[in-house]
Structure 1
C-alpha cells in the first residue's frame, strides 16, 4: 500500500468502523466456530491440528479481508464455509486426513477456475437487485428477531442495550452500536455473566499435512464442498454486496478466495469464500454513515481474524466469555438498518414486489434441500416467480 493510500486509510478509520469489524468477527466466530471444530474432529484431528485449522482459516480470512478491501476500497468480508464445515462432519467422517486435504485442494482449484474464468460473475449478474435485496432481508431476519427473543432470558441486559441503541440513533447514530455493546458488557460484568476465568490464550502451531488424492474423496468431499460453498456462500455473498450498493469486480474476489484456500489448505483451511451475514454488518450504516468509508470495517475485521488465527482454538474462550444474549442482541442491532434497507429496496418496484417477497419468505424460512441453504433456494424461487409473473418490457 502506497504512502498516499495509507494516509487515506488513516483518515477514514474511526471507532465505529473498528467496532463494526469486531462485531463482525464476534458474530461470525460465535455462530459457527463449533461447527468447524466438529468438522476437524470428524477427520480425527488432534488438538494441535485443530489449532492449525484455526490458524490457517484466521490468516486466510484476515489477509483476504484486508488486501481485497484496500484494493477495491469497498468492504470485502470473507469467511470460512460454514455449510461446507457442516457437510464435512457427515461426508468426510472416516476419510483419512491427507485425502481430505487433497479434496480441499481440488475444491480450491475449482473455485479459482469459477472465479478467474468469469463464468460465475456472468451468472450472478443476471440476478435483479430486488431479488437480491429480498434474499438479503430474509437471511438477516432471524438476527433482527433474536434481539427481542433474547429478552425472554436476559430482559435487563438486552432491553437496556435496545434503549441505548435507540437513544444514540437519535443523537449520535454513528456510535449507536458502540454504546450498546459497551453497556451490554458493563451490565454482563455486573451480573457476573462474563466467563473471563475460562480464557487461556496460547499461540497456535501450523501443522503441515501432505495431501493425497483419491477418486472417492474427490467425488465424495471435493465436489460437494465446491458446490455448497459456491451456492450457499458465494452467491449470497455477492447478492449482499449488490444489495448494499457496492459495485466491484466479482471474478477476482472469488478467484482470490480460492487461491488463499489453495495455499493454506495443507494447514487446514478447508474453504474460504465471500461472507453474507457478517459482511452486512460492515456494509450497514452503523459501520459508518459514509458508505465510501465502510471498507475500514472490513479491514478491522481482517485484523481481528488474524488475531484469532494466531491464538488458534484457545481464542474461542474469549468469545465464549460473552453471554449468548449479548451476542444475539448486538448482532441484531447492528443489522437493523441493513434489514430495513433490504426490505425497502426489495419492495420498491410494484412489478417486482411479489417475486421479491417470495424470495424473502423462502430465504427466511430456513429451508435446506440437497445440503444447500435457504438463501440459494430463495433466489431460485424469486427468479422463477419473476420469470412467470413479470412480463418483459
Structure 2
C-alpha cells in the first residue's frame, strides 16, 4: 500500500481538500445558523463534518483501494439555510440530522429504500434543489447593493478567475473576501483577542429533540437532496473514470459517519461529486490503481482544516453576514444552473417541475414544515395527475 503513495497524489489531495473546504464552508455555516445554531454550535458542526468526512474518505479509500472522495452535503446546507428554524430550534434540527443519517444507512443496507430514492423523478429532485439554491444565489447581488466597495471585489474576483479556470473561482472569491475584511472593514480593537484559543478544537454536543417538524421539514428533504444530488452522482463520477464500486456499502458508511457527526451539529456527509473527479482523474496519478492515495491525502487535510474550524468561524464572523453569504451564493451558482437545466429539460414534466420549484423557492412553511418538502409533494401530485388524466380520457 505504501508503495502506491506518490507526491502527485499528495498535491492533488491537498488541492482537493482546499477546494472542497474553501468553496463551501460558508454555505455550511450559513445553513447551520439558518436552523438556529449559535456561532459556537456552527463551528462545532463545521469541525465535526470536516473531521468525519476526512476519516470516512481515509477508511473507504484504503478499504476499497478506490479514490472515494467524501464531502459534506452542500445542497443540504443550502436547504437548511432556506428552510429556517423549525419548532424545537437547533436541537430539533439535530434530531433531523440523526434521522437523515439513519435513512442513509438504511438506503445502503436495504435495497428497496435505495430504489425508492432512485425512483423519485429526476426533474422534481432537481427542481427542489434549484428552489433551495436560488435564495442563496441572490446574495452576491444583495451584497453589491449593500456596499459596492465591499461586494464588487468578491464578485469580480469570482468572475475573472472563473473565466480562466472554474476550479479556482470560489477560492478566488474567498481570497477577495479576506482582502475586503482586512482592508475594507473597521475591525474593533480586541476582535482578535480570543482567536488563538479558537485554534483548539471546541466540539459542542447538542441533545437532539425528535418531533414532526424536524422529521418532515429537515430529515426527509435533507435525505432526498443528499442522496439525489451527492451520493448518486458520486457513484456516477467513479463509474465514468472506469471504477466499479458497490454503492450500498459506500452509502451505509457515509450514513454511519453522518450519525457520528450529527450530535455535534453536522448535518450530513456523503460521496463527493466535483472533488471526486479530481481524485479519480489522471491528474491524481497516471496509474488508476494508485489514485486512491489522492482521496486518502484529501481526507488527512480535511481533518486538519476541520480542527481549525473554530478560528475560521470566528474570523468570518467579523464581516457583515451578507458578504460571506455572497461567497456561499457564488459557490452555488454552478449547482443552481445545472439543477435548473435538468429540472426543465423534459417538456412533459415541465409544469410539475415548475410547481416544485416555485413552492420550494417561496420559502413558505406550512404546519412548521419547510417549503422544500411541500414543493416535492406538490410536484409529485402534478405528475400523478398528468399521468392519470390521459387514462381517464382514454
How far, CA to CA, are the matches of 2:229 and 2:141 in structure 1?
24
Q: TM-score scaled by structure 1?
A: 0.69
Return the offset for 1:13: 4.5
Counterpart for residue 237 of structure 1? 226
Counterpart for residue 375 of structure 1? 372
Residue 152 of structure 1 pairs with residue 145 of structure 2: yes
Cα pair 2:255 2:270 within 8 Å, conserved: no
Cα pair 2:104 2:223 within 8 Å, conserved: no
Is the partner of 1:25 in helix, strand or coil? Answer: helix
Cα pair 2:109 2:249 within 8 Å, conserved: yes
Cα pair 1:165 1:176 within 8 Å, conserved: yes
Q: Which runs of 5+ in 2 are unaligned?
A: 239-245, 285-291
Residue 63 of structure 1 pairs with residue 55 of structure 2: yes
Counterpart for residue 183 of structure 1? 176
Residue 387 of structure 1 pairs with residue 390 of structure 2: no
Cα pair 2:71 2:269 within 8 Å, conserved: yes
How far, CA to CA, are the matches of 2:97 and 2:325 in structure 1?
32
Residue 362 of structure 1 pairs with residue 359 of structure 2: yes
Return the offset for 1:317: 0.9
Cα pair 1:359 1:378 within 8 Å, conserved: yes
Q: How does 1:120-131 map to 2 (within 5 A)?
A: 120-131=113-124
Provide closer, same or farther for how the CA distance between residues 33 and 197 of structure 1 changes in structure 2, counting only shifts above 3 A: same
Provide closer, same or farther for how the CA distance between residues 333 and 118 of structure 1 changes in structure 2, counting only shifts above 3 A: same
How far, CA to CA, are the matches of 1:54 and 1:363 in structure 2?
26
Q: For 1:302-333, what per-residue CA distance to the aligned partner results, in whole angstroms no more than 9, with x for missing partners?
A: 66763465357565313323442331222222
Residue 353 of structure 1 pairs with residue 350 of structure 2: yes
Counterpart for residue 274 of structure 2? 283
Cα pair 1:111 1:226 within 8 Å, conserved: no
How far, CA to CA, are the matches of 1:194 and 1:298 in structure 2?
38
Residue 28 of structure 1 pairs with residue 28 of structure 2: yes
Return the offset for 1:228: 5.2
How far, CA to CA, are the matches of 1:244 and 1:25 in structure 2?
20
Q: For 1:71-101, what per-residue CA distance to the aligned partner results, in whole angstroms no more than 9, with x for missing partners?
A: 66465423598769955844969xxxxxx99
Provide closer, same or farther for how the CA distance between residues 228 and 222 of structure 1 changes in structure 2, counting only shifts above 3 A: same
How far, CA to CA, are the matches of 2:205 and 2:372 in structure 1?
35
How far, CA to CA, are the matches of 1:146 and 1:106 in structure 2?
30
Return the offset for 1:152: 1.8
Cα pair 1:139 1:375 within 8 Å, conserved: yes
How far, CA to CA, are the matches of 2:295 and 2:231 in structure 1?
16
